[in-house]
Amino acid sequence: MELRPLADELLAEYFRLSPVHATEIGIHDHDGLWPDLTDAGREQHGGFLRSALERLDSLDPTGLSRDDRIDRTIMRSFFDADLFATEILDESAWNPMAYVYLAGNGLFALLAREFAPRPERLASAASRMRSLPNLLDQARDRLTATRHGEHGTGSARDVSRFHTEKAIELMAGVADLARTAASEAQELEDEELQHSVQEAARSAVEAVDAYTEWLREDLLPHATGDFRLGRNLHDHKFRHFLKTEITPDQLKERAEASFDQLRGEMVTLARRLWPQWMGSEPMPDDDSAVVRGVLDAIALQHPAAEELLDYCREENARIEAFVRERDLIGLADEPMQIIWTPPFLRAFGGAMLIPPGPLDRGLDSFFAITPMRDEWTEEQRESRLREDNDRQLRLLTIHEAVPGHFLQLAYSNRCTSTVRAVFQSGVFAEGWAVYVTQVMMDVGYGADDPALMLVHLKFYLRSVTNTMVDIGIHAGEMTEQEAMRLMVEGGFQEQSEAANKWDRARLSSTQLCEYYLGAVEMTDLEHEARRRAEAAGEPFVYRPFLESVLAHGTPPMPVIRDILFG
């Protein structure tokens, strides 16, 4: 018995119903379409997922090959999570930011990815822009269903006020993408297509402006919902989305233990570094004051705001040279650009890796850094630059580029299993980036600069506080004051970084747990590999181990453990 025919059939229908996701994955049969957000469209999507799960469950796993059993497990876990997201979590009914991401990603992927000639991609963009007014009408219907008592299934939550405010702020980024399409169309030789794209762009901009005004004037006054998921919904989302056997309470307990351990290591190192960085200034008795004092001195060494991209480009070249010298892991031939974050994605702040779809092999990845906000004061700008100081940017480049997200996803995109290529675990991806940064430190990166290690410990501590804040907010009643105190006083973060993270934690739920959870589970994989090497009387070597972890796509952590160790 083979899984492949059924998997191919299910994937084809799944991506037909999710055309924006299909474009991002690298399936381009539906590039001019949006998903159907009407009640009928949502019912069709949910019905497909239920049917797909039944058909996968009907397969006798004993008759499948090991690879097919693994792919079946992955497909089932992602379809199950999507069914939960569609019928229980139901963000489309209470989270206006869902439409910012949907519309933004639907246009950005067509404009930024050179998977086809520009005229072909712009034709698809024109098709989506022409139907954007209809999509936003469907968004209005979904977001007002709660107010009018029209919810049939789903969470029936009131529309979140905070998510509405953020959507008002960021929806303009979608209009910017439409204007970009119109600008690119000016270079087309086909005048008819040029006119078509520009007319569609005008229509899209008008629709976005009208929708934004509707959000501000009509929806916001009635948006009384909380940004918190609540413990029950958070627990279920945690299990479905993170695909782990660890409960939120267990992860929180581990995070709290790591919090104390990391702070202890930072105190010891900061006391050793104090004379070098603080000169003759007397060392305080208070441990936190010692760490903060040294970190503040280190943070004064940072590039100017306009130099952030160039600094990271130069550092990435140095990191690649170090990786080659240590033969730590094979590097990628795929291209990567370091750019400013597209406006519609700037709610998440900081930096991110925007990769090509796993089926769009060989295309550029984008290491995106969010620029300073125009409305920030000089104090806010300096706070951000102190957080992203020279040493922090070195670590951030490892995390986002090499050997972090960019390299991991370059390996993932070579995976021969379509199922493993298209269904990607955030816990694996974020966990790898945190874990491999620690590996770089362990093998001597920056060994001549102890201050880098102190900043690294702070960076790792950030993943711990991410977890504590996410669980504290969405499964508890953590206040802004409590979260800021944890991040600034407990995690030694700058006010600007902590404020952005407070916003991000409210916008997203469970995602901030991926970093620490994934790093813990990646470290457990290394410990198991070391144990087995020792039992076999063989030395542990990083390169074959790291490449074996990356050779199977971006699967849930229980799956990669099964692949590697049975």
Structure tokens at 182: 């119109």
What is the spatial distance between Cα 515 and Cα 51, in angstroms, rounded to a whole number? 33
Q: What is the predicted pLDDT for the residue at 496?
A: 86
Q: What is the predicted pLDDT for the residue at 300?
A: 97
Q: What is the predicted pLDDT for the residue at 347?
A: 62
Beta carbons within 8 Å of 541's beta carbon, 6+ residues apart = none
Q: Tell me, yes or no, whether 184 and 274 share the same domain.
A: no
The residue-averaged pLDDT of 288-293 equals 98
Q: Which of 59-68, 206-215, 515-524 has the lowest mean pLDDT?
A: 59-68
Using pLDDT thresholds of 50, 70 and 90, give the confidence band for residue 155.
Answer: low
Domain-located, residue 125: yes
Q: Tell me, yes or no, whether 194 and 274 share the same domain.
A: no
Q: What is the predicted pLDDT for the residue at 148?
A: 58
Q: Is the pLDDT of residue 221 over 80?
A: yes
Which of 213, 242, 227, 208 has the alpha carbon at shortest distance from 106? 208
Domain-located, residue 369: yes
Domain-located, residue 238: no
Q: Tell me, yes or no, whether 190 and 257 share the same domain.
A: no
Q: Which amino acid is at 366?
A: F
Which of 18, 55, 62 has the alpha carbon at shortest distance from 37? 18
Domain-located, residue 19: yes
Longest dimension (CA), the chain: 75
Q: Which domain holds residue 91?
A: 4-228
What is the spatial distance between Cα 152 and Cα 160, in angstroms, rounded to a whole number? 19
Q: Tell me, yes or no, whether 415 and 529 share the same domain.
A: yes
Q: What is the predicted pLDDT for the residue at 442?
A: 97
φ and ψ at residue 397, rounded to 5 degrees: -70, -40
**Each residue's pLDDT tens digit, 309-360:** 999 999 999 999 999 999 999 999 999 999 999 887 786 567 999 988 899 9
Which of 178, 163, 166 has the alpha carbon at shortest distance from 208? 178
Q: What is the predicted pLDDT for the residue at 342?
A: 86
φ and ψ at residue 333, rounded to 5 degrees: -90, -15
**Contact of 352 with 341, CB cutoff 8 Å:** yes
The residue-averaged pLDDT of 276-304 equals 97
**CA-CA-CA-CA torsion for 449, 464, 323, 524, nearest 10 degrees?**
130
Q: What is the predicted pLDDT for the residue at 369?
A: 95
Q: What is the predicted pLDDT for the residue at 131?
A: 98
What is the spatial distance between Cα 220 and Cα 327, in angstroms, rounded to a whole number? 55
Q: Tell me, yes or no, whether 436 and 472 share the same domain.
A: yes
DSSP structure string for 54-77? HHHHTS-GGGS-HHHHHHHHHHHH
Q: Is the pLDDT of residue 242 over 70?
A: yes
Q: Is the pLDDT of residue 154 over 60?
A: no
The residue-averaged pLDDT of 524-545 equals 98
Q: Tell me, yes or no, whether 223 and 267 share the same domain.
A: no
Q: Is the pLDDT of residue 150 over 80?
A: no
Give the rounded distance of the alpha carbon of 308 from its chain centre: 21
Q: Tell me, yes or no, whether 219 and 259 share the same domain.
A: no
Collapsed DSSP state (helix, strand, coil) of residue 352:
strand
Average pLDDT, the chain: 95
Q: Is the pLDDT of residue 501 over 60?
A: yes
Domain-located, residue 241: no
Beta carbons within 8 Å of 272's beta carbon, 6+ residues apart = 450
Domain-located, residue 84: yes
Structural domains in the chain (count): 2
Q: Is the pLDDT of residue 1 over 70?
A: no
The residue-averaged pLDDT of 249-255 equals 98
Question: Of all residues in the chain, what percent carry a pLDDT higher than 90?
Answer: 91
Which of 23, 44, 43, 41 has the alpha carbon at shortest distance from 33? 23
Q: Tell me, yes or no, whether 218 and 272 share the same domain.
A: no
In what side-by-side order are the strands of the sheet with 351-354? 336-340, 365-369, 351-354
**Each residue's pLDDT tens digit, 33-90:** 999 999 999 999 999 999 999 999 999 989 999 999 999 999 999 999 999 999 999 9
Q: Tell me, yes or no, whether 223 and 360 share the same domain.
A: no
Domain-located, residue 233: no
Q: What is the predicted pLDDT for the residue at 146?
A: 63
Beta carbons within 8 Å of 552's beta carbon, 6+ residues apart = 415, 417, 420, 559, 560, 563
Using pLDDT thresholds of 50, 70 and 90, give the confidence band for residue 102.
Answer: very high
pTM of the model: 0.94
Q: Tell me, yes or no, whether 224 and 308 share the same domain.
A: no
Q: Which amino acid is at 95?
A: N
Give the other-Cβ count within 10 Å of 210's Cβ: 12
Comparing 152 with 140, which gets the higher pLDDT? 140
Q: Tell me, yes or no, whether 262 and 224 share the same domain.
A: no
Q: What is the predicted pLDDT for the residue at 346?
A: 81
Collapsed DSSP state (helix, strand, coil) of residue 147:
coil
Q: Tell me, yes or no, whether 41 and 127 share the same domain.
A: yes
Q: What is the predicted pLDDT for the residue at 345?
A: 76
φ and ψ at residue 394, rounded to 5 degrees: -60, -45
Domain-located, residue 517: yes
What is the spatial distance between Cα 128 and Cα 48, in angstroms, rounded to a whole number? 24
Helix ranges (H only) for 215-247 are: 231-242
Which of 329, 322, 339 has the alpha carbon at shortest distance from 394? 322
- Give helix 450-474 / helix 495-507 axis angle, nearest 10°: 40
